Amino acid sequence: MPNPKRRHSSSRRGKRRAHDALATPMMITCSNCGNYALPHRACGKCGYYKGRQVTAVRTTSEE
Q: Taking the chain (63 residues) in consecutive chunks of 10 residues, what is each chunk's mean pLDDT? A: 91 94 92 92 90 84 60
Confidence (pLDDT) at 62: 61
Confidence (pLDDT) at 63: 54
Query: What is the C-alpha separation between 43 and 55, in angstroms, rounded?
Result: 9
Confidence (pLDDT) at 14: 95
Distances (CA, A) of 4 to 9, 23, 33, 37, 42: 12, 33, 58, 48, 52
Is the pTM above the cut of 0.85? no
Confidence (pLDDT) at 20: 93
Which DSSP helix (H) or strand (E) runs through 28? strand 28-29
End-to-end CA, the chain: 66
| 52 three-class SS | strand
